[in-house]
Chain A
Amino acid sequence: MSNLTDLTMAEARDGLRAKDFSAVDLTKAHLEAIEGAGALNCFVTNTPDLALERAAQSDNRIGSGESGSMEGMPIAVKDLFCTRDVQTTASSHILQGFTPTYESTVSQNLIDDGAIMLGKTNLDEFAMGSSNETSYFEPVVNPWRREGDDTPLVPGGSSGGSSASVAARLCVGATGTDTGGSIRQPAAFTGIVGVKPTYGRCSRWGIVAFASSLDQAGPMTRTVRDAAIMLGSMASYDPKDSTSIDRDVPNYEAELGKDVRGLKIGIPTEYRVDGMDPEIEKLWSSGADWLRDAGAEIVDISLPHTKYALPAYYIIAPAEASSNLARYDGVKYGLRVSESDDDITELYEKTRAEGFGTEVKRRVLIGTYVLSAGYYDAYYIKAQKVRSLIAQDFTNVFDKVDAILTPTTPSAAFGIGDRTDDPISMYLNDVFTVTVNLAGLPGISIPAGLDANGLPLGLQLIGRAFDEQTLFRLGSVVEQAAAFKASPVNWWSAAS
Chain B
Amino acid sequence: MSVDIQTVRRIAKLARIQVSENDADLESMTTELNAILNWVEQLEEVDTSNVSPMKSAVETSLFQRADKVTDGGYPEKIVKNAPRAQDNMFVVPRVVE
Contacts and interface: CB of A to CB of B under 8 A. Distances in A.
Interface of A: 97-99, 101, 199-200, 213-214, 239, 242-243, 245-246, 305, 307-308, 311-312, 314-315, 322, 326, 329-336, 338, 342-350, 352-353, 356, 361-362, 364-366, 368-369, 372, 375, 378-379, 381-389, 391, 423-424, 438-440, 465
Nearest to A315: B40
Interface string B12-52: 11111111000000000100110111011111111010011
B86 interface: no
B60 A347 contact: no
A200 B60 contact: yes
B58 interface: yes
B68 interface: no
A423 B36 contact: yes
B17 A331 contact: no
Contacts of A334: 81, 83
Contact of B18 (A245, A349, A387): A349
Nearest to A330: B83
Contact of A242 (B17, B59, B63): B63
A382 B16 contact: no
Interface residues of B, number: 54
Contact of A311 (B3, B39, B63, B94): B39
Contacts of B3: 369
7 contacts: A331-B92, A335-B83, A352-B18, A353-B19, A366-B33, A379-B40, A391-B57
A101 B80 contact: yes
B95 A239 contact: no
Closest 10 pairs (CB-CB, A-B): A440-B57, A384-B53, A333-B81, A336-B83, A353-B18, A349-B18, A385-B48, A348-B16, A311-B40, A199-B57
A314 B54 CA distance: 15
Given A362-B33, A391-B54, A386 B46 contact: yes
Given A352-B16, A356-B17, A389-B51, 7 more contacts: A199-B57, A307-B42, A331-B83, A335-B83, A369-B11, A391-B54, A424-B39
A101 to B, nearest CB: 5
A280 B93 CA distance: 56
Contacts of B39: 311, 314, 424
B9 to A, nearest CB: 11
Contacts of B33: 362, 365-366, 369
Given A336-B84, A353-B18, A342 B93 contact: yes
A246 B62 CA distance: 11
B86 to A, nearest CB: 13
Contact of A389 (B17, B32, B48, B79): B48
A134 to B, nearest CB: 14
Nearest to B19: A353
Given A311-B43, A387-B53, A387-B54, A99 B81 contact: yes
A317 B8 CA distance: 19
Contacts of A329: 16
A353 B19 CA distance: 7
Contacts of B42: 307-308, 311
A213 B53 CA distance: 13
Contacts of A379: 40
Contact of A332 (B17, B55, B81): B81
B8 A365 contact: yes
Contacts of A345: 16
Contacts of A330: 83
Interface string B60-97: 10110100000000100101111110000010111100
Contact of A347 (B13, B52, B92): B92
Contacts of B37: 366, 369
Nearest to B57: A440
Nearest to B10: A372
Given A366-B37, A388-B52, A350 B18 contact: yes
A308 B92 contact: no
Contacts of B93: 338, 342-344, 346-347
A364 B17 contact: yes
Nearest to B60: A245
Given A330-B83, A333-B81, A375-B1, A382 B43 contact: yes
Nearest to A388: B54
Given A200-B58, A331-B82, A439-B57, A361 B17 contact: yes
Contacts of A97: 81
Contacts of B57: 199-200, 213-214, 243, 391, 438-440
B85 to A, nearest CB: 9
A254 B57 CA distance: 28
Given A213-B57, A383-B43, A362 B32 contact: yes
Tell which of A329, A348, A391 has the most Cβ of chain B within 10 Å: A348
Contacts of A315: 40, 43
A349 B18 CA distance: 5
B33 to A, nearest CB: 6
Contacts of A381: 53
A342 B56 CA distance: 41
A32 to B, nearest CB: 32
A368 B82 contact: no
